């Protein structure tokens, strides 16, 4: 297996992860963390980089990716959960969200337009490009890894280098949010990027891409995927540090509400009107590569479980769904997707960690069943809370759990359930 294949696979994986959400989270964290910047960004990188990297490793060690991991609980659960994952991070959320962000934060930074028609025209062009790139899966690594990712990194480098030589560091007090536990707050910000869930799909994209390049041995596929994950992790770490540093040192007078406003202001300060064009290019490229990866992952998965339709037809279906949902608007997309994402995230993390644990310490059916059952209970509970349906007695009881107030109340009970399940199987 050549180094070029691994390098371009790593570039491609970096681009798949680095969507618009990943672009705007770090600058805002950098601005709010102030003098607690180091602790906050360390927590962010742990969950936004290291956890997705572990997921990539977990997928590479499984025979059939996410499907095989889920089937360790039960075959029906494995199939159902995989379908929910691909639909939620793909057609119903990830794909239309990326195109909407490309329009609102990318295109509209260059052209001041209003109304539904410009969004429709932009989305037709955006998804037309996505279709042309995605239609031939054997060329995706070449197109994304060799062309789109270097272009994205080049534009980002222009912004970073200019900012490094222009801005100066000053002591700024942290916001109230980051005053007490900056590491945990950064940890949660990285957690909310949802990249650990996306990695369940992107891992298969890299494996299939290597297969299309002629890599057939399982050992080589695992090695190539892990190295690609490492390249992507290093790239993401460097970019996140740079973006958060810009937010940390950016001079500003009025309040800034999010990372997009920070980067728009930085681009304008550094390059004038050309900064709007620069930022627009960054956003559109980041969103395009993510959309291509999600489209490829979803089309490949559904083609494998239901091969009566060809890969190209599935690409067209997901492009059509993405185009439709894009024109509903970003607010509606977020309202629909939030309960789904709240539901799948704890279960996904549990499956990834158990999959890695099993590889080194042996199989345990009860470990999966017990822990995933507990994680599913908490996932349903969070979905109910997302609809503002309060269960007072249950809320009072669960509030005693460690990290409950941070949205991580499921971690200790799930770990306990996994330990009990593993101990029972180990004893028997």
Averaged pLDDT in 10-residue chunks for the chain of 428 residues: 78 81 85 91 92 88 79 89 84 83 82 83 93 81 75 85 87 84 87 80 81 78 88 92 91 78 85 80 85 87 90 93 82 70 84 86 88 90 74 73 79 92 88
Q: For position 320, what pLDDT does the model report?
A: 92
Q: For position 392, what pLDDT does the model report?
A: 67
pTM: 0.84
How far is residue 312's CA from residue 299's CA, in Å, rounded to a whole number? 8
Domain boundaries, given as residue ranges, for the chain: 3-328, 332-428
Q: Using DSSP, how many helices (H) and how many strands (E) does the chain show?
A: 21, 0
How far is residue 358's CA from residue 138's CA, in Å, rounded to a whole number? 32
Tokens for 158?
């222009």
How far is residue 354's CA from residue 417's CA, in Å, rounded to a whole number? 12
Q: For position 334, what pLDDT does the model report?
A: 66
**4 CA to centre of own chain:** 25
- Tell me which architecture the domain covering 3-328 has in CATH: Up-down Bundle (1.20)
Q: For position 331, what pLDDT does the model report?
A: 67
Q: For position 416, what pLDDT does the model report?
A: 94
CB 9 within 8 A of CB 206: yes
How far is residue 314's CA from residue 300's CA, in Å, rounded to a whole number? 8
Q: For position 87, what pLDDT does the model report?
A: 84
H helix or E strand, kind and range, residue 225? helix 218-249
How far is residue 319's CA from residue 171's CA, in Å, rounded to a whole number? 47
CB 378 within 8 A of CB 409: yes
> CA nearest 98: which of 133, 66, 122?
122
**Residue 307: Cβ within 10 Å count:** 10
> CA nearest 322: which of 122, 109, 80, 83?
122
How far is residue 20's CA from residue 97's CA, in Å, rounded to a whole number? 9
How far is residue 345's CA from residue 68's CA, in Å, rounded to a whole number? 18
Question: ∠ at Cα 182 (266, 283), nearest 5°?
Answer: 30
Q: For position 422, what pLDDT does the model report?
A: 93
How far is residue 375's CA from residue 384's CA, in Å, rounded to a whole number? 14
């Amino acid at each position: 297996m050549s180094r070029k294949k691994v390098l371009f696979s790593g570039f491609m994986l970096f681009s798949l992860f680095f969507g618009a959400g990943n672009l705007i989270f770090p600058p805002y964290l950098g601005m709010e963390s102030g003098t607690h910047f180091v602790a906050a960004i360390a927590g962010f990188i742990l969950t936004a980089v290291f956890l997705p990297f572990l997921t990539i490793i977990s997928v590479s060690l499984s025979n059939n990716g996410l499907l095989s991991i889920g089937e360790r609980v039960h075959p029906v659960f494995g199939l159902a959960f995989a379908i929910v994952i691909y639909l939620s991070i793909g057609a119903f959320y990830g794909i239309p969200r990326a195109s909407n962000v490309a329009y609102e934060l990318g295109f509209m930074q260059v052209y001041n337009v209003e109304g539904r028609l410009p969004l429709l025209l932009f989305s037709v062009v955006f998804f037309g490009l996505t279709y042309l790139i995605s239609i031939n899966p054997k060329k995706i690594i070449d197109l994304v890894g060799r062309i789109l990712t270097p272009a994205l990194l080049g534009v980002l480098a222009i912004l970073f280098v200019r900012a490094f030589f222009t801005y100066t560091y000053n002591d700024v007090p942290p916001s109230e949010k980051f005053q007490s536990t900056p590491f945990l707050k950064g940890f949660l910000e990285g957690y909310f990027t949802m990249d650990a869930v996306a990695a369940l799909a992107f891992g298969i994209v890299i494996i299939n891409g290597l297969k299309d390049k002629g890599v057939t041995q399982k050992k080589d596929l695992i090695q190539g995927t892990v190295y690609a994950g490492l390249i992507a992790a290093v790239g993401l770490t460097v970019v996140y540090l740079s973006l958060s540093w810009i937010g940390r040192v950016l001079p500003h007078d009025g309040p800034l509400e999010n990372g997009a406003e920070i980067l728009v202001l930085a681009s304008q300060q550094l390059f004038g009107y050309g900064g709007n064009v620069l930022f627009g290019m960054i956003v559109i490229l980041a969103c395009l590569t993510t959309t291509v990866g999600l489209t490829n992952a979803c089309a490949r998965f559904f083609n494998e479980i239901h091969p009566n339709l060809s890969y190209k037809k599935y690409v067209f279906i997901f492009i059509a769904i993405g185009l439709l949902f894009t024109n509903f608007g970003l607010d509606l997309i977020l309202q629909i997707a939030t309960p789904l994402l709240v539901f799948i995230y704890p279960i996904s993390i549990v499956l990834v960690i158990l999959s890695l644990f099993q590889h080194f310490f042996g199989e345990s059916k009860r470990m999966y069943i017990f822990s995933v059952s507990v994680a599913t209970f908490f996932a349903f509970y969070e979905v109910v809370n997302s609809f503002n349906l309060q269960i007072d007695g249950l809320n009072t009881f669960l509030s005693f759990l460690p990290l409950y107030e941070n949205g991580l109340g499921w971690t200790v009970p799930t770990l306990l359930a996994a330990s009990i399940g593993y101990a029972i199987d180990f004893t028997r």
